[in-house]
Structure 1
Amino acid sequence: MATDLATELRVLRPDEWDTWYGHLMRAFGGVPEPAEELELYRSLTEYDRSLGVWDGEACVGSAGAFSFRMTVPGGALVPVAGVTMVGVAATHRRRGVLTSMMRRQLDDVRTWGEPLAVLTASEPGIYGRFGYGTASFQLSAEIDTGRAVLSVPAGTDGVRLRYVAPADVLDACEAVYARLVPGRPGMLARRPGWERLGLLDPESLREGASPLQCVVAERDGEVTGYARYRVKPGWESGVPEGTVVLDVLDALDPATDAALWRFLFDIDLTSKLSVGNRPVDDAWQYLVSDIRRCLPRLQDTLYVRLVDLGAALAARTYQAPVDVVLEVEDAFCGWNTGRWRLSGDAKGAVCERTSEAADLALSVRELGAAYLGGVPLTALAAAGRVRELRGGALAEASVAFGSAVAPWLPHGF
């Protein structure tokens, strides 16, 4: 497929990876990545799912799609295309390079039989026109651990914590993570190789903090949780003002979760805990004495695109019975356009084409935003993005599409 007379779009070959990835690094500012990070992403690249646009020998466009399985409401693991490595050379703007890659990629995803495509966006304004909707958010915080005090649940003191080298306990930590995956929409089942992402620790990315540290939590001899973190020392007028930088924390029960947070709050010579990507309903918020001392903030994370609308809506369950006809607009993937009858409940769902009168009208972008249960259809309707055509249909569908726990993407790709 050609984007214009001078460029060629084709599947990536292994011997082209250095040039292809070098183009991507330039598109993202040109700062070299550490060698261990380059090696990891080279090993994770799925060449038959990666595209490059070439102008002679120069790569001027790139896009990839990792093959993931993602939890959806109800706990099913659904095949998804994890869209990644998207970049267009500044020399080739406004030539249709990005549109051509998105067109080819979504056609491929449909051929692969994957009902969903997902991505994280460096520039959120780009992907709405290709049908991606903002489906999950992440919570960050800068916690004043000298003033925000934790009140922990019963059983916390029975959790044993011990220091370990992160690599030495990787298998046990991955087992904890795997047990958590079915319980929260948006989480990814990690394929072999992806566990190495959590161990990346190049000195150039520490920003003055320590090497990666790890503690594991145990109950009755079983690992029930872990935290990976760094400590960034600091002093102010002779007073220790260090910062604990949390990388990841996973726990199987409330007592383990509280024990790990308490440990992070109490690390010597520190007065701040910097928390990055966490679920918006993370339990620590309800353990602290003063949430204002934590400076919580939200940021968009996962964008969802329904590629096979019927299969995607039938793959998840619904927290209340729903029987609704959707009038869907999909300008980029016309095969989704039209009326679909969705019938489902907590046990399963069916979504098929219909000629019946529509109850709700919306675009595939809004369906992507609501898909994981974190964005209410009622909120989208209040923004003018969903139209109710039958009285009561909006409330019925909005409740059904919800999720008991907030969707969350635990790491990027």
Structure 2
Amino acid sequence: MTTELRVLDPADWDKWYAVLELAFGGVPEADEERKLWQELTEHERFIGAWEGDRCVGTAGAFTFRLSVPGGAVVPAAGVTMVSVAGTHRRRGVLTSMMRRQLEDVRSWGEPLAVLTASEPEIYGRFGYGVGAYSAHGAIDTTRVRLVVPEGTDGVSLRVTSPTEALDATEAVYARLVTTRPGMLERRPGWERLALIDPPGDREGASPRQCVLAERDGEVVGYAHYAIKPEWSFAGANGSVSVQQLAGLDPVAEAALWRFLCSVDLTSSVGFRSRPVDDAWQHLVTDLRRCEPTLRDALHVRLVDVGAALAARTYQTPVDVVFELTDAFCPWNEGRWRLSGDLEGAVCVRTGDAADLSLSVRELGAAYLGGASLLSLAAAGRVREVRPGALREASVAFGSPVAPWLPHGF
């Protein structure tokens, strides 16, 4: 039977979502979580692969705005809920959905597409590069101390519920978006994602808690966390799980980390998805005992190369011609001249000789400053044509702070 791609009809959402759930293991989500995703679904931007009335594939693209180096917030399609029924693998269903989706994103005038990958090796062939990484770890608070900056004692802390603190925490988050590439502006409804806390997902931990950092009556930071009590014959051995932590300045963040590392009856503080240059690693007295690990986070795809490269700024003046290959989105193929600095940039097609040769995947990896063009060249993925062009472009594409995706989608 012929497979047809169709825009998602709201009446088909349950059937469509059931295919997605089955592809990810078949464990039903909690009602509150499922309801939120249904409400956030932008049906006109979601597609399904259908054989008659049977759905065999799913894909969607949320409307996002993503921060980029220089502080601009750029339209980006948040690719999500991608799945293919196990009965229809290796039939071209995924490829057809990815191609249709990128054509749609281009028609919407959005220069970027981004995603988080359940299996990272899948999306490189569609032009996505790993543009931001995240750090994970667990601080052994029985052996590791924190050395906090001067002024930390001037920050007061107040424990409350995430719901009661929602307006204050969202205000802090909004102020931080343009300070670090890779962060997403929160559109209406997305603030509720931080409140989803199904009891079945807690694995013995407490309901989610919130601590606010305040100075002179103003909220300057917050952390969402849960506590998992554990006991051995020797005594308490509980753990703290950090779900979110944000501060408007280093002192506020340090006060939050110190609080979390001193919760009674606990001996460790675990965290996931922190920036790779996060300050916690310089506060601890023994990084080795914090078990730091690195993981891919945000995968970036340039849908309109000219618009995307012109939307960000560059650390040093750059004037370089790229010879770009992009078999999946052929409208990007060819030579592009990028001229820019800290004030802005222009990127246009050109017939001039190429300085660097690469694919759109490498541009996606370097776009937010998360991977250097030099390191990609060392892996054989960027070729220098004009001597000196590689170093010039690699430095220019850098970011003073590492890109970071604060939450999934």
Partner in structure 1 of residue 91 of structure 2? 95
Match of 2:162 among 166, 189, 192: 166
SS of the residue corresponding to residue 281 of structure 2 reads helix
Name the amino acid aligned to 2:364.
Answer: G
Q: Deviations over 1:203-223 (max 9, x none)?
A: 010010000011101000000
Q: Deviations over 1:294-336 (max 9, x none)?
A: 0000000100000000000000000000000000000100000
Specify which of 140, 153, 160 is matched with residue 157 of structure 1. 153
Q: Deviations over 1:215-249 (max 9, x none)?
A: 10100000000111000011121311100000100
Residue 184 of structure 2 corresponds to residue 196 of structure 1: no
Which of 146, 158, 171 is the equivalent residue of 2:142? Answer: 146
Which residue of the other structure, out of 67, 71, 74, is the alignment partner of 2:67? 71
- The alignment status of 1:348 with 2:337, answered yes or no, reads no
C-alpha separation between the residues in 2 aligned to 1:245 and 1:337? 46
Residue equivalent to 1:390: 386
Aligned counterpart, 1:321: 317
Q: How much does 1:6 deviate?
A: 2.2
2-structure distance, mates of 1:72, 1:293: 33
1:226 equivalent among 222, 227, 230: 222
Task: Give, as a single letter, the amino acid of the residue that structure 2 aligns with 1:68.
Answer: F
Matched residues in 2 for 1:120 and 1:362: separation?
Answer: 23
Counting only pairs closer than 5 Å after superposition, residues 7-406 of structure 1 correspond to structure 2 as 7-406=3-402
One-letter identity of the residue aligned with 1:210 = S
- Structure 2: tracts of 5 or more residues without a match: none
Q: Secondary structure at the match of 2:313?
A: coil
Question: CA separation in 1, counterparts of 2:139 and 2:284?
Answer: 10
Q: C-alpha displacement at 1:354, in angstroms?
A: 0.3
Q: Using structure 2 for the length normalisation, give the TM-score.
A: 0.99
- Report what 1:408 is aligned to: 404
Shift of residue 56, structure 1, vs aligned partner = 2.0
| CA distance in structure 2 between the aligned counterparts of 1:251 and 1:184, rounded to whole angstroms | 13
The number of residues matched between the two structures is 409
- Post-superposition offset of 1:374: 1.1
Paired with 1:58 and 1:236, the residues of 2 have a C-alpha distance of 52
Q: What percent identity do the matched residue pairs reach?
A: 69
Amino acid aligned to 1:112: W
Amino acid at match of 1:153: P
What SS class does the counterpart of residue 258 from structure 1 fall into? Answer: helix
1:60-94 alpha-carbon deviations (Å, 9 max, x no partner): 00000000000000000000000001000010111
Q: Distance in 1 between matches of 2:73 and 2:288?
A: 37
For 2:367 and 2:112, locate their aligned partners in 1 and report how far apart those are by CA, in whole Å: 10
* In structure 2, C-alpha distance between the alignment counterparts of 1:372 and 1:16, rounded to whole Å: 37
Q: Deviations over 1:163-218 (max 9, x none)?
A: 11110110010000000000000000000000000111100100100000111010
Q: Secondary structure at the match of 2:164?
A: helix
Which amino acid in the other structure matches residue 302 of structure 2? Answer: L
Q: Which amino acid aligns with 1:96?
A: G
SS of the residue 2:100 aligns to: helix
C-alpha separation in 2, matches of 1:338 and 1:57: 41
C-alpha separation in 1, matches of 2:229 and 2:164? 25
TM-score, normalising length: structure 1: 0.98
> Structure 2: how far apart are the matches of 1:86 and 1:361?
31
Rounded Cα–Cα distance in structure 1 between residues aligned with 2:3 and 2:304:
30
Separation in 2, partners of 1:11, 1:235: 52
Cα distance in 2 for partners of 1:49, 1:306 equals 18
Deviation of the 1:388 alpha carbon: 0.3
Distance 2:223 2:89 in 1: 43
**What's the CA shift for 1:95?**
1.3
The residue type equivalent to 1:189 in the other structure is E
Matched residue SS, 1:378? helix
